[in-house]
Amino acid sequence: MRPFRPFLFLLTASLLATGACSKKTVSFNSKLDQVLAAGPVRDSLTTARDTTNAPSLDTKKVVLTKEQEKAAKEKQKVAQRTPKKKKNVFLGEKIKKSFTKSGPKGRNQVIETFYYLRTFQQPNDFAPARYYFDPKKRKIFKTTEELDPATAKVLHGPYKKMQGGKVVETGFFALGTRHLRWEKFNKDNILLSKNHYEMGFPRDAQVSFYANDKKRLKEVIPYAAGKIDGDYVSFLENGKREWEGQFENGKKIGEWTQYWGFRNTKDRRHYVYQYGESGYDPEVTEPVLIKEYNRNGVLVFEKDKLDKRDAVTDRPGSK
């Protein structure tokens, strides 16, 4: 009688159990490569159904009613159509966009696009010039006087001027004053001038004061590329305006105003002179007096329209 071999018994039991779970039979004489070719052995634990009602790892789908599904789709469409509102802010101030049109329609029509402050702020008292938009008149104005909060929209933000569909001037405003870089072009898109400003004052301006404390401003001479170019202003020692005007290409252009200079009143104009329209034209050496005001700020002379200067005794040349 042959001795009992435990190893052979265990191997036989293992193979019988395998054969019960697999459709393919494996012979004792099979080699290792034949066993592997028979395919993987299935684990009964992976195929047995869970009878203990244990929670599954699979996510359950939420079933929506037709009305809920329709409402969700509609909400998604509205969210896609509605653009996000952009907050217009320039230098920390909220602004609003607007535009003006002037001149005849066609090639000569002028269109200006700009921004203004949503909340009114009075420009700096010493600013050479203040710019604002009048919504009723649909026009941009330049002044040196205090602005009326009820009618003036203080310019603040990018500015662009176009004529005949071509850009002729660009720049920025800050609290009613010219700021940063300003450029002018002709109709052939050739750059005519480029100036830099800091809250109304040309960046390269020559600024002088009456005292070392730099509180009483005396004169602002604008410079650009070595030439006088920009807004000029001078003040009396009492802080009131004396002269204001504009240079271009080293020449006086447009209207130049001289003030009475009374201490306890608002700046009152005295004389208004007219120079040439452009600094690139021949210089006007003798300006034309176009307006004159008396001490009370009443207009007493306007060229080709009005002349009531008989009572005025302090005109240039009078005795």
Which DSSP helix (H) or strand (E) runs through 71?
Answer: helix 66-81
pTM: 0.57
Residue 10 in this model has a pLDDT that exceeds 80: no
Q: Are 98 and 133 in contact (CB under 8 A)?
A: yes
| Number of domains, the chain | 2
Pairwise pLDDT comparison (62 vs 310), residue with the higher score: 310
- Give the pLDDT of residue 96: 96
Same structural domain, 190 and 212: no
The sheet carrying 130-134 orders its strands as 139-143, 130-134, 153-154
Of all residues in the chain, what percent are helix, strand and coil, respectively (each to 5)?
15, 40, 50
Q: Is the dihedral of CA 207, 116, 93, 118 positive or negative?
A: positive
Residue 232 lies in a domain: yes
Terminal CA-to-CA distance of the chain, rounded, Å?
160
* Best CA proximity match to 114, nearest among 154, 75, 74: 154
What's the pLDDT score for residue 86? 61
Other beta carbons less than 10 A from residue 161's beta carbon: 18
Is residue 172 a contact partner of residue 159, using CB atoms and an 8 Å limit?
A: yes
9 domain-assigned: no
- Give mean pLDDT, residues 87-109: 90
Residue type, 269: R
Residue 41 placed within a domain? no
- 239 lies in the same domain as 164: no
Model confidence over 45-75: pLDDT tens digits? 444 454 455 555 454 556 778 888 888 888 8
Element (H, E) at 45: helix 44-47
Alpha carbons within 13 angstroms on the beta-carbon side of residue 73 total 7
- Rounded CA separation 244/242 (Å): 7
Q: Rounded mean pLDDT of 120-143? A: 92
Q: Are residues 242 and 185 in the same domain?
A: no
Which pLDDT value is given to residue 120?
Answer: 97
CB atoms within 10 A of CB 106: 8
Asked if residue 186 and residue 213 are part of one domain, the reply reads no
Residue 283, number of CB atoms within 10 A of its CB: 12
Q: Residue 248 corresponds to which tokens in the numbers above?
A: 């271009």
Please report the pLDDT score of residue 227 as a whole number: 86
Q: Which pLDDT tens digit goes with each residue over 203-255?
A: 888 989 998 777 788 999 988 778 898 889 999 999 899 999 999 999 999 99
Q: Model confidence at 28, in pLDDT bands (50, 70, 90)?
A: very low
Per-residue pLDDT at 318 exceeds 50:
no
Q: Are residues 162 and 222 in the same domain?
A: no
Clarify whether residues 104 and 175 are in a common domain.
yes
> Who contacts 154 (Cβ-Cβ below 8 Å, separation ≥6)?
116, 117, 120, 121, 122, 123, 130, 131, 132, 147, 175, 176
Does residue 35 have a pLDDT over 50?
A: no
Among 91-100, 136-145, 310-319, the minimum mean pLDDT is found in: 310-319
Place of tokens 């054969």: 19
Q: What is the mean pLDDT of the chain?
A: 81
164 occurs within a structural domain: yes
Range of the domain at 236: 204-319
Residue 77 makes CB contacts below 8 A (sequence gap 6+) with none
**Domain assignment present for 19:** no
211 and 162 within one domain: no
